[in-house]
Chain A
Amino acid sequence: GNSVTQMEGPVTLSEEAFLTINCTYTATGYPSLFWYVQYPGEGLQLLLKATKADDKGSNKGFEATYRKETTSFHLEKGSVQVSDSAVYFCALSRAGGFKTIFGAGTRLFVKA
């Protein structure tokens, strides 16, 4: 079946460090891929998405590229800020968006 695997956390970085959170997926067909973020005390919100192979999603300095050959969608940011401290969820959706499947989440702590 369809599934998402992401790197375990927590990830602890200093401000301005480079961030990578790995995500790989298993899916039939051509799913859409997403990163959602959950800031402390808030609900999940969409950070970025990509709908086909080689698409790059980007938002708020974060980027992720849909790599079909490696079934990956790694999240990157060149310079993290304390305000980026949150839990990040990689997710996939089958064609039509009927059901979104989430990874276990990766908690990020950014120190000043």
Chain B
Amino acid sequence: DTGVSQDPRHKITKRGQNVTFRCDPISEHNRLYWYRQTLGQGPEFLTYFQNEAQLEKSRLLSDRFSAERPKGSFSTLEIQRTEQGDSAMYLCASSSLTAESFEKLFFGSGTQLSVL
């Protein structure tokens, strides 16, 4: 169990550019979540996958945001035409459906996005 890993750790981009983040969940976990966290706030839910199916998207997720989880393994989150308001920490979490771990989220260390 190597934990949830996210790449890159930090991303600095100019307004209007596209960025893509990657998340590798714990290998046997069926569920994968994306959250966004700004300074002094708790994580805000963005979207959730069960295996390869994207089952829920937050209203926060504008059409500039897209997430995929091909083959139910790693996931990518892409932001097109970035805006300064997109600057935040993007967190990935995963969970399994086993009784002992049900509803327990395992978080990665996040990708810090700065849009200049």
A residues apposed to B, CB below 8 Å: 4, 32, 34, 36, 42-46, 49, 51, 89, 91, 93, 97-105
Contact = CB atoms under 8 A, between A and B. Distances in A.
The 4 closest A-B CB pairs, nearest first, are A102-B42, A97-B103, A43-B107, A44-B107
B40 A99 contact: no
Given A49-B104, A97-B103, A102 B109 contact: no
B25 interface: no
Contact of B103 (A44, A49, A89): A49
A102 B45 CA distance: 9
B45 A101 contact: yes
Contacts of B109: 42-43
Chain A residues touching B, majority SS:
strand
A100 B45 contact: yes
Nearest to A96: B103
Tier of interface size on chain B: 20 to 34
B105 A46 contact: yes
A104 B44 CA distance: 10
B42 A104 contact: yes
Contacts of B43: 44, 89, 102
A93 B103 contact: yes
B108 A43 contact: yes
B103 A104 contact: no
Contacts of A45: 106-107
Contact of B48 (A32, A49, A99): A99
A46 B42 contact: no
B56 A98 contact: yes
A105 B105 contact: no
Given A44-B107, A49-B103, A98 B48 contact: yes
B95 A104 contact: no
B101 to A, nearest CB: 10
A105 B40 contact: yes
A67 B10 CA distance: 40
B41 interface: yes
